[in-house]
Amino acid sequence: MTDRMKRSKGGFEPVFADEVAIQGRTLEPLLIQLAKLRASQINGCAFCIRMHVAQALTGCDI
């Protein structure tokens, strides 16, 4: 694991915790993607914004 990966690990742990909390819920996939999109907007992550928009439009859950 590189130093960069070690430094960024802390930032991804809350995201992974959210994924675990969402799994097994009865929420519609589009609603989940919209919530993830909003979180990405708040975080200012352009990569994640593009990803969640694409997933919401295609109905794909990656």
Predicted TM-score of the model (pTM): 0.66
Residue 23's domain comprises 3-58
Say whether pLDDT at 54 is over 90: yes
Q: What pLDDT sits at residue 4?
A: 61
Q: What pLDDT sits at residue 7?
A: 65
Residues 11/45/32/62 CA torsion (nearest 10 deg): -80
Confidence bin at 62 (pLDDT 50/70/90): low
Number of domains in the chain: 1
